Amino acid sequence: MILKELFANFAILTSLIFLYTQLIKAPLNRSSKLKYKIHAGIVAGISSDILMFYSIHIGDTIFDLRHIPLILVAFYGGITPITIALLFFIVGRLMIGFSFASYIAICYILTVSIITLLLSSKVKLSLQMKIAIILTANNVLLSVIAVLLVDNKQTLYLLLPTYWVASYSAGVLAFYMLVYLRKTKLLFDKYKLESTIDSLTGLNNVRKFDEVFNTLANNVGQKEEKLSFLYIDIDFFKHINDTYGHGDGDIVLKDLGALLSSSTRSFDIVSRNGGEEFSVILLDCSLDRANEISERIRKNVEQFPFTLSSGKEINITVSIGVASYPETTNDVSVLIEEADKALYHAKRSGRNRVCRNYEVNELPILTSV
């Protein structure tokens, strides 16, 4: 019976840990936002209550693995989540029954929680050593309580060795699972971010650009909003690479990405579309306003000193093609194509220019330097 109940506790515990790690947005730590700490505290408290309801009952005394979720939340989250978890635990324990044993159980869990808080933040030891000390302290405390409260020595002789093995096994596995799942989630989030971000500039990459543009194009068509698009290309970038090397070329691209972000509005969407080509999606932006932003970008780039690895400063220029829905085209799906045509005209007209298209069959109007 003892083995059966402890195994049930063990299965419930691992299921709860796995479920929790799948639902959270970020692993719990001391610097987590307050709402995440509150959520973690509630989950840990409810988890300990669930484990108590599937515990081993010996008179008024119950034995289970309720300490594991409380130890985990105290270890990683600190005082805020463990305080919330303890409130849930105390209420749950008193609902089972109020007695001297329940009072002792509450004191025991409070002691283990304090030990965990101190070891996790104040003591410089390896993770493995901290886990071993915390679990040993828990087992020693519970063994003392068992000796005081359980009269049947035969039951005690069977319970304590079984509980020590189960507690150590469950505790080590719980920490291992949580560490593994935390690392897995961090890696997943990292790879997910890297799949949408250009590693050199930190801007959206072409995959993210396509996703965002398609979503916005659908929304704009339905809501009848304005949408402008800038296609930006560095003038004579091949000459920069040939003269100074690709390393310095990357420096120019990185600095230009930062300059584009600072030259546009905070909610505009800046992307690197490949090589020396960049784009800006201007949300709810008219053609005239898009032209003003384009001119600001062109002038900022022209005046900005790009510092190379040698310390040498160079200046570059960009050509920009502008298209706007519904002013230069009434078909939002060809907005990129229209801006590309305007960019091509800017290149042919002398570079370092902003050009805008009104209609496909009309010549673009040039904004001269």
List, in order of start, the domains of the chain with CATH numbers: 2-193 (1.10.1760.20), 206-367 (3.30.70.270)
* pLDDT, tens digit (0-9, with 9 covering 90-100), for 322-358: 999 988 888 888 999 999 999 999 999 889 999 987 5
Choose the catalytic residue: 276, 295, 338, 359: 276
Burial class (CB in 10 A: 0-12, 13-18, 19+), 2: middle
**What's the pLDDT score for residue 59?**
58
Q: Tell me if residue 276 is catalytic.
A: yes
3-state SS assignment for residue 314:
strand
38, 80 contact by CB (below 8 A): yes
How many whole angstroms separate alpha carbon 353 and alpha carbon 70? Answer: 64
**What's the pLDDT score for residue 252?**
97
- pTM for the model stands at 0.61
Angle between helices 100-121 and 67-77 (to 10 degrees): 30
**What's the pLDDT score for residue 57?**
65
**What's the pLDDT score for residue 51?**
87
73, 42 contact by CB (below 8 A): no
Structure token digits, residue 206: 């072409």
How many whole angstroms separate alpha carbon 201 and alpha carbon 85? Answer: 43
Residues of the chain with pLDDT under 70: 1-3, 57-62, 221, 358-369
268, 283 contact by CB (below 8 A): yes
Closest to 109 in 3D by CA, of 166, 60, 57, 71: 71
Segments in the chain forming alpha helices (H): 2-23, 34-53, 67-77, 79-96, 100-121, 127-149, 153-194, 206-223, 237-244, 246-263, 287-303, 335-348
**What's the pLDDT score for residue 330?**
87
